[in-house]
Structure 1
Amino acid sequence: MKIGIIGTGSMGNILIESFIESQAVTPSQLIVTNRTIEKAYALKGKFPELQVAETPKNVANLADIIFICVKPLQFHPLLTQLAPFLNADKIVVSITSPITVEQLQTVVPCKVARVIPSITNRALTGTSLVSYGSTCSSSDIEILNSLISHISTPVEIDENITRVSSDIVSCGPAFFSFLMQEFIEAAARQTDINEEKATQLASEMLIGYGRLIEKGIFTLPSLQERVSVPGGVTGEGIKVLKEEVGEMFDLLFQQTHAKYYEDIRKIKEQFD
């Protein structure tokens, strides 16, 4: 089985490196290309057995499963370019949220799916959000799930929760990294700790926190209850958070969804 990757930017790169590291595929099974072809050849320098294709058409012609890792507004023109090189046995996989599997099916003559990855997949963990086109057979779904399971937990989602699910799974690491960086910088501003030491302590805390949740030792509410003893320091900190957070996350979801609907409108114009 040959796996094609069109677009070797941030997420395309993560998929390539994760698939290889997890042994989901060997480098020789991968066919990659990028608009700036030098970036694709840079990956070949790292994985010599990997095949670089000069054009997306070559990838479509040679690969059995083609992951498309380009920006949303680049999809429609790319799909129309690829369509003559796709047959009913191939599977095109989108990694972007504003384009539905139904829209993909209107352009290409093959099977389609959507897999929204997360940067956490680079550590062979976290979730990938999956949706399958109506022409995917049970064996197609099994093949894709097996591939994705090497680097993440695939979770099938309905279209109406695509954006919020992606906010949590895919954008969430960036959101919480920002909050953690603010936490670290405030510690350095308000106390004698330096930023390097605060970063070390915070990073170890996050790793330990994740393992507590992973092992089911605590839920999010029970962890707060266990650490926040009556009259203690943690309780005072939680009090500040409750007062200051307010509608911050409501506004975050409103903003991400506004951008999402704007992208959907522009994409719909292309597909219509």
Structure 2
Amino acid sequence: MKKIVFVGAGSMAQAIIHGWMKEATVAPEDIYVMNKSDHEKLTSLNEKYGVQLVDDDRENIKTADLIILAMKPKDVVAGMKSVAPYLSSNAVVLSVLAGVPMDTIENGLGKRPIARCMPNTSATIGMSASALACNDLVKNVDKLELIRLLKTIGTVIEVEEEELHVVTALSGSGPAYIYYYVEAFEKAAVASGLTSQVARDLLVQTLAGSAEMLKQSSDTPASLRKQVTSPGGTTEAGIEALQESGFADILARCLKESETRSRELGKRYL
């Protein structure tokens, strides 16, 4: 897939482009970007990364190997309408839009190879957790190329399209939940006497170390937790406070509400 066109230049498109440029995955001259109205953003991307801008006559789109739908979900119908007349029948379409089903994309761009991916903004630093679902028209060679491209911005897991609703809630929105956790814990630590910077430095390293332990250890999260929790100790007191506050139920509700919203969005675009 030599020529790639991004339809939309929002935060996800920018994160992917930044990741690809950082890892030298795709040459900037092979990446084209278009956006509905924010020409200042397009100019910024061109100046920062050297990527190309789609011409007003859409000639660039006609020879694209991969089209990446990266506009806001509410703009998907108008966005597809603006590029549909110019697409080659061989072009593969990859959507990074939350909730928008393949059926909607097929209605807008015709029956063709279509894949959906739910990355997250950690793509910017090559640490995205991405899930990929493909329709039956995506050739294996193209699927492998998509996986290769996505692996340069993090990990990739293949799933069924139906599973993307939960993936969106878990890892697509996940960074925001982690940042919210740090925000709340930092505020509590400051209230207990630490400076904001000291609290954040300790929290960030604690998260990084815990994540690496989860990656390297064959133990379950529950087992790792118990290894830190001495009977009658400080950790146990904190865990008990979390349990009394319904921490597990709160996380379950968080995931379910986000998944439900993803399903609602999907129905909106059918």
TM over 0.5: yes
The residue correspondences of 1:33-182 to structure 2 (distance < 5 A) are 33-35=34-36, 36-48=38-50, 50-55=51-56, 57-109=58-110, 110-182=112-184
Match of 1:231 in 2: 232
Q: Assess, with a 3 A threshold, how the Cα gap between structure 1 residues 38 and 126 changes in structure 2: closer, same or farther.
A: closer
Kept in 1, the 8 Å contact 2:69–2:96? The answer is: yes
Kindly provide the amino acid, as one letter, of the partner of residue 215 in structure 2. Answer: E
Distance 1:225 1:68 in 2: 44
Alignment: residue pair count? 266
Stretch deviating more after TM superposition (63-72 or 253-262): 253-262
- 1:47 deviates by 2.2
Q: Secondary structure at the match of 2:230?
A: coil
TM superposition score normalised by structure 2: 0.91
Kept in 2, the 8 Å contact 1:184–1:199? The answer is: yes
Give CA-to-partner distance per residue, 1:50-94, whole Å, 9 cap, x none: 211245944522421111111112112221332221122111111
Distance 2:69 2:39 in 1: 15
Kindly provide the amino acid, as one letter, of the partner of residue 241 in structure 2. Answer: V
Distance 1:47 1:253 in 2: 35
Let me know the Cα RMSD of the aligned residues.
1.8
Q: Assess, with a 3 A threshold, how the Cα gap between structure 1 residues 55 and 237 changes in structure 2: closer, same or farther.
A: farther
Q: Secondary structure at the match of 2:269?
A: helix
**Between the two proteins, what is the percent identity of the paired residues?**
23
Distance 1:155 1:56 in 2: 37
- 1:253 deviates by 2.8
The residue correspondences of 1:216-227 to structure 2 (distance < 5 A) are 216=217, 218-227=219-228
Kept in 2, the 8 Å contact 1:113–1:132? The answer is: yes
TM superposition score normalised by structure 1: 0.91
Distance 2:126 2:259 in 1: 28
Give CA-to-partner distance per residue, 1:93-133, whole Å, 9 cap, x none: 11013122233223324321111111222221232111112
Kindly provide the amino acid, as one letter, of the partner of residue 247 in structure 1. Answer: D
Return structure 1 stretches of 4+ with deviation > 6 angstroms. Answer: none
Unpaired runs of 5+ residues, structure 1, are none
Distance 1:20 1:224 in 2: 38
Match of 1:8 in 2: 9
Kindly provide the amino acid, as one letter, of the partner of residue 122 in structure 1. Answer: T
- 1:249 deviates by 2.0
Distance 1:160 1:51 in 2: 34
Q: Assess, with a 3 A threshold, how the Cα gap between structure 1 residues 149 and 257 changes in structure 2: closer, same or farther.
A: closer
Match of 1:240 in 2: 241
Kept in 1, the 8 Å contact 2:20–2:26? The answer is: yes
Match of 1:23 in 2: 24
Kindly provide the amino acid, as one letter, of the partner of residue 124 in structure 2. Answer: R
- 1:227 deviates by 0.7
Kept in 2, the 8 Å contact 1:6–1:59? The answer is: no
Unpaired runs of 5+ residues, structure 2, are none
